[in-house]
Structures are given as C-alpha cells and as structure tokens.
Amino acid sequence: MKFFRCPALLSALLLAPGQGWAQEGAQEVGPIVSQAAPDLPFGRLGDSAQPTAYRLDLSLDPGKPRFSGRVEIDLKVTRNAPRLYLHGRDLDVTAVTARIGGETLSGHWRQLDATGLAEVSFDRDLPAGPLTLTFTYGAAFADGPSGLFRVNVEGDWYVWSQFQSIDARAAFPGFDQPGFKTPFTLTLRTPPGLTAVSNAPELGAPTIENGLAVHRFAPSLPLPTYLLAVMAGPFAVLEGSVPASAERAAPLPLRIVSTRQNAGKLAFARDGSARIVRQLEDFFGAPFPFPKLDQITSPVLPGAMENPGADLYRDDILVMDGAAPVAQQRQFGTIVGHELGHQWFGDLVTPAWWDDIWLNESFANWIGYRMGDAWRPDLGIAGDALQAGFAAMETDALVAGRPVRQAIATSDQIDSAFDAITYGKGGQVVAMIAAWLGEDRFREGVRRYIAAHRGGNATSDDFFAALAEVAGDPRLVPALRSFVQQQGVPLLAIRQQGDHVAVTQLRYTTAGIAPPPGTWIIPLCLRRGAQTTCTIMDRQNQSFTVPGSGPVFPNAGGAGYYRFELTAGHWQSLIAGAGSLPAGEALSLVDSLDASIRGGRGNIAEMALLARALIRHPDPHAADAPFEALSRYVMQGLVTGRGRLGFNVLRERLYVPLLKDYGFDPRAGMYAQEAPARIQRRVQVVEALLATSRGGALREAMGQAMAAYLKGDSAALDPAWMDHALDVYLFQRAADKAGADAARDLVERALSSDDPVFRPAALAASARTGDGKLASWLLDLKDPRLREGERLSFLDGIMARSATRDIGYQWALAHLDDLVSASGGPFFATRLPQLLGRYCSVAKAAEITRDFAPSLAGTSGALELARASERVRNCGLLDDLVGSQIDADFTAMK
C-alpha cells in the first residue's frame, strides 16, 4: 500500500471506528465491551480457530446505500469451546450457524469493541475439529475509501473495496489479521450490465438470477482478508496482456479498469504496467504470481493498494497519456512499481503479524523507485527516492516517534505502522543495504526469501536470515537491525587529515534539543576522488584509512541513512565542488548542510553558496534542492521582510538567467519533444520566479492561459502549469476585487467535474487564497458533491497560508470530536496534526497539545500530534536561539 501520508507519499486511511453497537436487525444487541477486559483478544486473535477457506456471496447495488451478504468460513477448531472470537464491524448479522458434520447449531453474534472484535457464542461447546461458520448479514457502504465504499461519478455509482489494514471486517465477518491466509471463492450479485472485478478471474459471463447478474470468480490463491478485492460498476475496461517471457510461458492477461469518463486515457497505464511487470519478473527470477492483473482506479483513494491481481489506485496515478506532466509520469512509475512489487513481496509472501508490515512497505518503497527508474531512466525517479529518504529523516529526528519495526499489541496501534518512517526511512535503509551489498547479492537474498516462504507468511527474521546467507559479513544483519529496531538519525562528525578519517557517531537533533542516546552499526561508504571505500562502522568512535585524493565525501552515492557534520574547511571544499557531484551526493550534501543549520551549527550563507554551485546541475532535483531548503526558512516565518527582500534578490540572480535559456509558453504540448529533465527544470525555474518582481510577465501569461482554459480552450494551458495557473488566476481576480466570486465559481466548476487533474487542483487552489471569509465559507460548505477527504483539502490549503491559518485551527478545534468520530475519522486524525505542524512557536506547541491531545488520544493521530507539536516547538527554539542570525544572513544575500 502507498498512501500519501508524507509524499508518496504519504496519508493514513485505515480502520473506520464504529458508532457503538446497537444496530437494527443485529443479534444479541449489547454494549461495547471495554478494552480493559484482559482476557479478550483486542489485538491478535488466539489459536483456538484457524480459517481454511472463505466463500462469500455478496449482493451489491452501487446505487443503494447498503449491501447484503452470506459468508461461509471453513475452520479448524483446536479445542472445545462455547464461543469463538473473530472480527466484524457495524454489521447487521441476522443469522449465524455452525455446521459440524451433519449437525447445524444456531449461534449468537456480538460486537465487543469499536475496532470490530466480535464474539460468536453457542449454547454448547463447539468440538475440536473441522466446522463451517455461516453468517447472513447486511451493512452500509462507506462514503470514503475504507471497507466497501461507493462513489457517484458523473451520474453513475461505483463500488470499490479498500481493506488494509483492518477494514475487511466492515464488509464481512472473518478472521481479519494477516497471519490467516486462505483461498476465497467470491460470488457477486449486481444489477445487469456492470463489470465486476476481484483477485481471481471471473468464470465466464455472468448469469441472470432473480433479476441480478451473478458474477462467479475462480477460487483465489491463499490470501489474508486485507488483500481481498471487490469492485463493481459500469467501468471502462482496456484489455491487454504482458507477453510471454523467460519466466512465464504464456501471456499474462492485463486490464486497466476505470470510471467511464476516463476511457480515452488508459493506454499509457496498460503499456507502462506491462513493462514494469516484465522488469519485476526479471528481478525476482519468477513469473507474476497470480493468473491475471487488473489495474483499477478510483477517484477518492488517497494512494494505492496492492490487492493481488487487482491493484487499486487513485485516478491520477494511472489516468494520463504520454503528454502528462513529468511529475505525474514519475508518480506512475514509482507507485506502479511499488504496488506490482508487492505482488511477490507482500502478497505471495505475507507478514505473519502487523509488526512486520514495515518490511512489506519498506521493500516495496525501495523497489518502486528502482523499477520506476528502470522503466524510464530519463524521468529522474532515482532522485525522488533519495528525497523521500531525506524527508523521512525530518520525522525520524524528532524525539516523539517510533522505530521502523514496532511491537503492535492491539488493533488501535496498527495505523501508526503506516507513516513516513515505514515508507521513507524503511525504504532508504533497504536502499542502503542494497547499495552496500551490491545489487546481485541483495537480489539473491530477496529471491531466497521469496522461494522459502512462497504462498505463506514470513517475519523480519526470515528476511534477515536470507540476507545473512549472501552477505559475506556477519555484521550486516545486526546493522540492519540497528536501523529498524531503534528510532533516530545517526549524525557522523567527521574530521579528515589526509588519508586518515576520524568518525564519531551520535544521534541528530535540532538546536536546543539534547541528543538522546543511540549507537548504530552503519554500512558506511566514503568516496575520495574516484575511489570509494565501504566498511562497517560498529563503534561510537572509529578511524578509517581512505585512499585517493581531495576531500572525502562521507556518503558515497547518497544512499546511506545518516547525516554528517564537517569542519569549516571540509564544508567549503565540498560546496566549492558541488556542481560536479553525482546527483545523490549533491542531495545528501544539501540535506546535511540544512541539518547543520537547524542544529545551530551551519549558516545560511553556506547554503546560498551551495545554491550558486548547484544551480546548473544537470539533475533537476539536485539543482533545486538548496533553493527549496532556503524557501522552507521563509515559509516557516523565520525571515523578516528585509530578509525576504534579500532572498528574492538571490533567487532572481539564480533563476532569471535560466528563464532566458528555457523560455516559457503555457500552451499545451509546447515542450512535449524535450527531454523530461529539461521540462522539469523549466517548471522549477518558473515556480521560483512567479512571486518575484521579475515574474510579472510569467503571471500575466499564466493568468490569461487559465482564463482561456476555463472558457473551454483546453489547448491554452499545459497540465504541468495547472496548480500555479490556478493560484495566479485567483490572485489576479482578487486584485480586481473579484477574488471571492472567482473562487466560488472555481469550486462549482470543480464539483461539477470528475477530471482527475482539474478537480483536486481547483478545490485546493480555492483554499490557498488567504481570504478569511472565503476560508470560512469553504470549511462550512454543505454540498452533496463534496467528497469525504476534499474538505481536508480545503483545510490543508487554508492552513498553508499564514493569513488564514488561525481560521483553520479554530474550525478544526470546534469540529474535532465530530470529525474524529466520522467514517473518515482515522484519515483526518492522522493528517490534521501534519497541518498543525506549520506553526513556529514554543508557546503554540503547548497550545496545540492542550487543545487537540485529549480528542486524539488513542487514535491514529496521537503520535502525529506529538510529532507536530515537537516540530512547532523546535522551530520556535531555532528562532529563539539563532533566528536573528538566520534573518541577517538572508538580508545579506546578493
């Protein structure tokens, strides 16, 4: 799964808590049982029952608010007992029976807690041995992407499933945890004319029974409940196949499945998916593990989900053509590589429990970037991977946090395993180990792991053992453990004297924060000139001999998950030669220098020098990284008006010459024949200059293009400029005293559209105007077309602007209890603290904790709130300690 709770990636969208347990038609209605009851399995179920197969028969009419079902579960019961514990959340169970041989017993159903722990009891003991449980039930479709959810798209209703992590229990009773892996036989009954999709192939054309189309699917390969896929609607379907290969004798059926209005933009995804499948088969040395592949889209999914043979994506990840913006194509390669990589690592081999979900997602994060880059090396996806790792360091450097692998005892702790630490840090640690081992040995370790556990479950220790077999150095596995089993970012203080390099490791923290203890076993690669020396640092203080000439670069290739601190002369040498560094090393240099500034040691003047040194670097990520780092200090309010003037002088001197080289024309397709790196660099250059005094002509051209686009001339504006053009258009309307009306018109246009690019961009832009009255109107907007999650987009934009941030804060506080208890509550609870983290004040940090902690306690947002409060406090401390010097350095820029 890849949810954009950081970037990629990334937002949580997991369990949807119940509203209490008193639903009409359910059996044994009773109160929710307190989790204080010590003998109930509120986390991992016991071993008294083992499911061996499911047979689901679901009646789904997307146009109706509820669905019904019948599920049979074959079990192996290990000991006599009058009751069984399993899962089901907010289900109206009208009948439950147990069939034991030729005897049928009637049972009683009771939901025990809001996360969906349930009890099935009988009037006498169930005997040890095989039996079949049967449930008849009904439930409501969700409005947002959890469980079985439905959405109206241009007048048509569609249904999709999103079951990870524990939302399958909102769709059917079952044993909803990853260690239970069984085949599913699915039957879907829908209105005639709909397409139905699941993990396994459909067995011929649907038949008609009682006026409904009956879709029967082949039994799936063994799956945990969270990987079951259920979709139905009047989909557009583009057929294709992946040609036979050395690993696979027959072509693999491949389809792209989307809502009808996207029918003309599916070929790009079909062709790209086929190529990435082939690359993955070559990497794993094994054929695609499932009999077919459907790539499906939904307009409301926050990211993507790796259902075996039936991956699900947010629309804009797949729906595009070859003229799509470079950033969107990079997103396609990365996320499709991630989800398809899961088909082997995460689906074919599944974690035994949620404490090892980190391994699935960390590996998929690494291989997603790896396969995306192999698919289209020209797009610069490798730089995206490094940036994700460095971004994760910002979270991992906080005192409030968790290790990559954490113990999970109860269901309400599962959500915290899906965050920037799992994806960004875990992915970068995998990349570090792969780089240190070398790709051939690392790939061999992965293949051994998959082969040993094919079709079953595995643990982190199983993966570590496979790597140990190929490592050649017994310290590598302890090194991997030291990064995944403890929190924090190593900081390597380096002193070079000729060939001699002395290194001291400690834990990185920002200014004013004493570093907590921490020692890592670090796969360390040092480059000096053309020579790279790789070793293992397994002590706090260590010295190394590094042959070569010139200054040592402390993170060869940029793959290491650590930061470095240097002497003044060493910084100066690396900055002076930064323009010739490989892209990964340039990004690592920017990250470590920025960390040094935030630690109270480095200075802004050095970053300005680095910006000049990298401004014409051939890699767009590296070229823009120092400017982005400097921009964050401005956006956080650490820079006064005089400092902002100095910053504008610097960026005009950096970017105006580039604009002359690159040119600018906002019309669609004007630069389609250029290399992607040049296209992306132009976007960065224009973005840097838009708000400056030299950006007037750019703003005028963009505003005119957006106005023409809104009048129906789609050729007037290339999608690459959509976000910026919307902002400029609304800014110009505000200057004409028509900003609020223009924004309201834009919202109406967006809500009337299902275009996967325009709709979210227009809604987000309407919230970024800085207009207080408009902000309040948006937050209180009552419109049935506004989807769950889109109000959060409003809040995001409102809190991104200092002029409206407090309006967003007060609105969120006033509505917090209702929002957290709504069906999308866990998504909101996780994302909201990230928005609160945009303040910069020690006092505000305490206020945030006081106002929001009570309502978020025990939710997926509790840890994120602690992180947000710490970010706000750390920013305030930085301002108090060195803010005047930072501002003076900005003021002195030339």
- Alpha-helical segments (H) within 343-410: 357-375, 381-396
Give the H or E element holding residue 732: helix 722-735
Where a domain ends, among 597, 614, 631?
A: 614
Distance CA 304, CA 868 (A): 25
Report d(CA 582, CA 435) in Å as an integer. Answer: 15
Per-residue confidence band for 161, with pLDDT thresholds at 50, 70 and 90: very high
Tens of pLDDT, residue by residue over 196-210, are: 999 999 999 999 999
Backbone angles phi, psi at 625, to 5 degrees: -60, -45
Residue range 539-563, pLDDT digits in tens: 999 999 999 999 999 999 999 999 9
Tokens of 596: 């040094």
Contacts with 322 (C-beta within 8 Å, 6 or more apart), sequence order: 268
What's the domain count of the chain? 2
Q: What is the pLDDT of residue 2?
A: 57
* pLDDT per residue as tens digits for the range 859-886: 878 899 999 999 999 999 999 999 999 9
Q: At 430, which amino acid appears? A: V
- pLDDT of 207: 97
* Distance between start and end Cα atoms, the chain: 46
pLDDT over 70 percentage in the chain: 95
With tokens 């008609």, the residue in question is 208
**pLDDT, tens digit (0-9, with 9 covering 90-100), for 338-365:** 999 999 999 999 999 999 999 999 999 9
pLDDT score of 858: 81
User: In the prediction, which pLDDT does 542 show?
Assistant: 97
pLDDT band at 472 (very low <50, low <70, confident <90, very high): confident
In a domain? residue 703: no
Task: Tell me the whole-structure pTM to 2 decimals.
Answer: 0.93
Element (H or E) spanning 232, and its range? strand 230-233
* 239 sits in which H/E element: strand 236-242
CATH of the domain at 563: 2.60.40.1910
Which of 29-33, 216-220, 306-310, 553-557 has the weakest average pLDDT? 29-33
Residue 412: its pLDDT value, please?
Answer: 78
Computed over every residue of the chain, the mean pLDDT equals: 92
Q: In 246-277, which positions are buried (b, 16+ CB within 10 angstroms) versus exposed (e)? A: eebeeebebbbbbbebbeebbebbbebbbbbb
pLDDT at 417 over 90: no
DSSP 416-447: GGSSHIIIIIHHHHHHHHHHHH-HHHHHHHHH
The answer to whether residue 302 sits within a structural domain is no
Among 591, 614, 637, the domain-final residue is: 614
Rounded Cα distance between 613 and 609, Å, is 6
Is 523 a domain residue?
Answer: yes
Domain that holds residue 607: 490-614
Query: Does some domain include residue 635?
Result: no
pLDDT exceeds cutoff 80 at 537:
yes
Q: Is 53 contained in some domain?
A: no
* Cα 290 from Cα 701, distance rounded (Å): 50
Residue 819 pLDDT greater than 80, yes or no: no
Q: Which pLDDT score is estimated for 206?
A: 97
644 — phi, psi (to 5°)?
-65, -35
Q: At what angle do helices 722-735 and 696-710 cross, to 10 degrees?
A: 100
The yes-or-no verdict on residue 813 having pLDDT over 50 is yes
Query: Between 104 and 791, where is the model more confident?
Result: 104
**Across 281-285, 505-509, 760-764, 788-792, least confident range:** 788-792
Helix (H) or strand (E) holding 49, with range, is strand 49-59
pLDDT at 595: 98
Phi-psi region of 481 (alpha: psi -120 to 50; beta: other; left: phi over 0): alpha
Look-up of token digits 């692998």: 405
pLDDT at 824: 55
> pLDDT at residue 36 above 80?
no
User: What is the pLDDT, as a whole number, of residue 23?
Assistant: 31
Residues 144-168, mean pLDDT to the nearest whole number: 95
Is residue 64 domain-resident? no
- 25 pLDDT exceeds 80? no
Q: Tell me whether residue 496 is in a domain.
A: yes
Report residue 24's pLDDT band, with 50, 70 and 90 as the boundaries: very low
pLDDT in tens, 37-52: 658 999 999 888 999 9
Q: What is the pLDDT of residue 894?
A: 74
Residue 797 binned pLDDT confidence (cut-offs 50, 70, 90): very high
pLDDT on residue 828: 67
pLDDT of residue 4: 39
Residue 244 lies in a domain: no
Tell me the mean pLDDT in the region 229-236.
98
- Kindly state the average pLDDT of the residues 441-456: 96
- pLDDT at residue 455 is higher than 70: yes
- Among 595, 614, 633, the domain-final residue is 614
Q: Answer yes or no: are the C-beta atoms of 207 and 193 closer than 8 Å.
A: no
Q: What is the pLDDT of residues 695-709, one digit of tens each?
A: 999 999 999 999 999
